[in-house]
Amino acid sequence: MNHILKFNLNGEAVEVAVKSNEKLLDVLRDKLGAVSAKFGCGVAECGACTVLIDDLSVRSCITFAVEVEGKSVVTLEGLQADGPTKIQKAFIKHNAFQCGFCAPGFIMSATELISKNPSPNEEEMRHALAGNLCRCTGYQNIVDAMNEVAEDNKGGVK
């Protein structure tokens, strides 16, 4: 079955022809050029394909493209439309990644977390990011960067 899929991608209305069985990850990457979301496992276990759908982090590798009809999808490309976010700046400062392949997924998950809980404590933060696998870093610099964001947001509340 073929569809003309309409949704909002990174703030812009898009229209794209898809079949029912096409995966959101493939449509984003191959048809819409949003290649920041990565293929890592194909079964929602590594988090490399994470995108935001209506502000919630979702595994685009196990989402049918047709499921996002009328919804708003944000990938890393859209997140930084106004320049690097606070989270991205902290990740840069702390050398948070090594090979970098998991970075877009981590940033999307971290973005969702901070939007819901601006100053998570370290264990809350680790719990929220536990679905994103990184093989390089041992996670320490990711934690350091996120702790800095959380600390900074605390200051913002005062």
Partner 1 sequence: MDNFRYIKPSTVDEAISSKREYGKKANFLLGGTDLFIAMDKGVITPEVVIDLKGIKTLKYLEEKDGAIFIGAAVTWTELIESEIIKKMVPALWEAADLVASVGVRNTATLVGNLCNAVPSLESGAPLYVRDAVVFLEGKDGKREVSVKDFFTGVKRTVLKDDELMTGLKIPVVKEFGEVYIKMGRYEGEDLAQAGVSVFVDKNNNYKISLSAVAVTPVRATKAEDFLKGKKLTDELAAEAAELALEAIAPISDIRSSKEYRIHMCRIMVKRGLIASVSRMETGVPALSTRLI
Partner 2 sequence: MKENLKVVGHDAVRLDIVEKVLGAAEYTDDIAFGPNLLHMAILGSPYAHAEILSIDTSEAKKLPGVKAVITGEDYPEKFGLYLKDKSIFPVDRVRQVGEQVAGVVATSYEIARNATKLIKVEYKELPVILDPYDSIAEGAILIHPDLGNYVIEPWLEAQPGTNIGHLRRIRKGDIDKGFAEAETIVEGEYHIPHVAHTCIETHISVSKFSLDGRLTMWNSTQSPHTQRNIMAVALGMNHKDVRVIAPPIGGGFGGKAGISMEVMAAAGAKSCPGHPVKLRWTREEEFYNSSQRTGLRNKVKIGFKKNGKIIAFKHEMFWDVGASAEYGSNVVNATGFSATGPYYIPNVYIDSKACYTNNPTCSAYRGFGYSEFSFGIESTMDKAAKIMGIDAVELRRINAIKEGEGVAYDVPMNPNGLIECIDKVAEEIGWGIEEKSDDPNKIIAKGFASVWKAPAMPANESSSAFIKFSEDGSINVMVSGMELGQGLLTVMGKIAAEVLGLTLDKVRVELPDTDRNPYEWQTVASHVTWSCGNAVKRAAIDARDKILDIVQRAHFIDKSQLYLEDNGVKCTTQDSFYIPFSDFVITGIQTEHNTWVGGPILGSGMFMPEYTNAMVDPKTGLGGHPMVHYTVGAGAVKVEIDKETGRMKVLKMAEAFDLGKAINPDLSKDQINGGFVQGLGTAMWEQCIFDEKGKMLNDGFTDYKIPTIVDVPRDMNPILVEVPQPDGPYGARGHSEHTMIPVMPAIANAVANGLSVRIVDVPVTAEKIAMRMNDPKYKEEM
Stretch 9-28 residues interacting with partner 2 (CB under 8 A): none
Per-residue binding string, partner 1, 1-40, x by CB under 8 A, is x-x---------------xxx-------------------
Query: Which of 10, 27, 40, 149 touches partner 2 (CB under 8 A)?
Result: 40
Query: Of the candidates 102, 107, 98, which has an alpha carbon nearest to the alpha carbon of residue 78?
Result: 107
Residues 42-71 that bind partner 2 (CB under 8 A): 42-43, 45-46, 48
Pick from 109, 97, 99: which is nearest to 139 by CA? 97
The listed partner (partner 2, partner 1, none) that binds 86, CB under 5 to 8 Å by sort, is none
Residues 6+ apart with CB under 8 A from 54: 71, 72
Q: Measured between alpha carbons, how far is 145 from 149 in angstroms, rounded to an integer?
A: 6
Among 76, 113, 114, 149, binds partner 2 (CB under 8 A): 76
Ranges assigned E (strand) in 1-158: 2-9, 12-19, 50-53, 56-59, 72-74
User: 148, 90 in Cβ contact below 8 A?
Assistant: yes
Contacted by 57, from partner 1, partner 2, none: CB < 5 to 8 Å by type: partner 1
Residues in contact with partner 2 by CB under 8 A are: 29, 33, 35-36, 38-43, 45-46, 48, 75-77, 80, 84, 88, 91-93, 95-104, 107, 122, 126-127, 129-143
